[in-house]
Structures are given as structure tokens and as C-alpha cells.
A = this chain, B = another copy of it.
Amino acid sequence: MAEPPHQATASAPACVGNVAVGFDFLGHTILGPQDQATIRRIPDPLVRISRIRGITRDIPLAAAQNTAGAALISLRRALNLSFGFEIELNKGIPLASGMGGSAASCVAALVAANALLEEPVSPDMLYQCAFDGESLASGARNGDNIGPMLFGGLVIATPEHVIPVPVPPHLHCVLVHPDLQLETRRARRVLKDPYKLTDVVQQTINLALVLSGCYRNDASLIRSGMQDHLIEPRRAPLIPGFEEVKRAALDARALGAGISGAGPSVFAWFTSESQARTAVADMQLAFSRNGITSDAWVSRVAGPAARVIG
């Protein structure tokens, strides 16, 4: 067997978290912005971050406070490795955008580090380390970003399970990232008050419809179900222009639209790439009518997985 390399670079794609009906456990990647991690094996038995480049730089360099660092600390512990890792991050996903920026660094680092092992571990094991990484760094234990990034496509991701969900072919996603900051603490606070049973029932029905639509390759069921009755009504008011952007997507024949992750990015699903490409301009226009510039991407819903790129 060839000796593993001493350095590897991996990329992890941006992700649409929650997907309207799967708060905290459903997500899918998109082909668009990505984070890259270059990992070097070092003789010192520790994990250190040498450099963070790219569009986001104000991230802690202390390894344990960074999702990438914390994930590799978890990997070293789990495998009882004698050597350590040096991490260089190249951030392509804006932080606090609702596109899984911190998860992507974590997953890219794990996938690159895995390429440096004599015996690479399974994606399931990397998933557990990514979970540890996220919880070490942020206290959250949500798989809806790390799961899709590690496995690709649309994924149900719980602490114990990662379940790939088949996506009807041709389904495409528009993701629009408005140039505005959503105060995370406020985005969490609005979720605290409890939820009415009628809304919970409607949300669970919608989840059943969307999942059934995917498993049965029936876009009409997805259209019937892709509406968030729980989280969106509370968070939408925090995103100026959200209702207009969503309306623009639905007017352009979206199957559904909603907030990506904790926002402020907005996603919409379409049954074809051409529909999605037509809708992008309308959705961005709706933000700009509210004085907000934005970036946007069109991707298959069945987006890529993280992978070694060098």
C-alpha cells in the first residue's frame, strides 16, 4: 500500500439547512461557494491553525474554538493518533449567512485529514467527529449541514443517523444570499416561545409530504408540503424583503421556498434548471427593491459531497 501523503486539500460545499420542513435535521448541498481546508501532518501531537484566508477572516485561530480545529481534535482522540495536524483554511462561504459556513470548514478539514491516514475511516466516523467539532466549538449538535456536506445531496441527519434521501432528477435550487447581517442571538430568541399543536400538525404533515415526494419521485407532493409553519413565521420578519423574495420564487413556479439555515439566505426549489435560472433575477430584484444587494447561485438539489481536491 502506498504511504499516505503528508498534505491534502479538500473542499466542502455550501448547504441549505432545514429545507422548510426539517428544522435541525434536513439539508442539502449546492454546487456554488465552498470552503477549502489544507491539512498537513505534523509530528507534534496537537492540532493548530496556521492561517485563515478568503472572504471571512475574523474566526478564532485557537483550534478548540474553531469547528475545523475541534473536529480534528476529535478525530485524533478517536483514533488515538500519535501525530498532529496543521490546518490552513480558505473560506469561500460567508459566515452567518445560513449557508453552513462553519460546518463546511469542519467537514473540509476532516475529509482532507482522512486522506492523510494510513487507514482512512468511514464517512459515518467522520460524521461523528464533525458532530463533536460543531458541539465543541458552538454547543450545537445539529447535523443538517455536516450530514449533507459529508454524504452529498439531500440528507436526514440526526445525532445517530445519516440517511440520504433520493431527490427527483431535474430538481434545482436557487440560493440567494442578501448582503445583510442577521443577529444570531435574535434569530434564536424568536424560536423560544412554544408552538401550537395545529402548527405542529401542519408542519409534520408537510414533512411527510416532502419526504414522500422525494422517495416516490413525485414533485407535486413536494409542492404540497414545502411550507414552514413553525420557524419561518417567526424568523421571516427579521429578514427585510423576505416575503417579496419568496413571492417572487413562487410566482416563478417554485415548488416551495424558505429560509436557508438560520438565514438570512433564501432558498427555493424548482422542477427544472431553466425555471430556476429564470427565477434568480426575480428573487434578487425583490431584495434590491428593499435596498439589499445579494449574491445568488443555481444548483441541482442533489448537490456535491465534500472531496479531496489536491
Residues of A within 8 A of B (CB): 21-26, 156, 158, 160-161, 163, 165, 191-197, 200-201, 203-205, 207-209, 211-212, 215-216, 221, 224, 230
Contact = CB atoms under 8 A, between A and B. Distances in A.
A194 B196 CA distance: 5
A192 B200 CA distance: 12
A215 to B, nearest CB: 4
The quantity of this chain's copies bound in the complex is 2
Nearest to A160: B224
Contact of A209 (B161, B200, B205, B221): B161
Chain A binding surface SS class: mixed
Contact of A224 (B161, B208, B224): B161
A242 B32 CA distance: 52
Given A161-B224, A194-B194, A224-B161, A208 B211 contact: yes
Given A23-B204, A163-B221, 19 more contacts: A21-B204, A23-B201, A24-B201, A25-B208, A158-B205, A161-B221, A161-B224, A163-B208, A191-B197, A193-B194, A194-B195, A194-B197, A195-B195, A195-B196, A195-B200, A204-B204, A208-B211, A211-B212, A215-B216
A213 to B, nearest CB: 9
A191 to B, nearest CB: 6
Contacts of A197: 191-192, 194-195, 230
Nearest to A195: B195
Nearest to A191: B197
A142 to B, nearest CB: 9
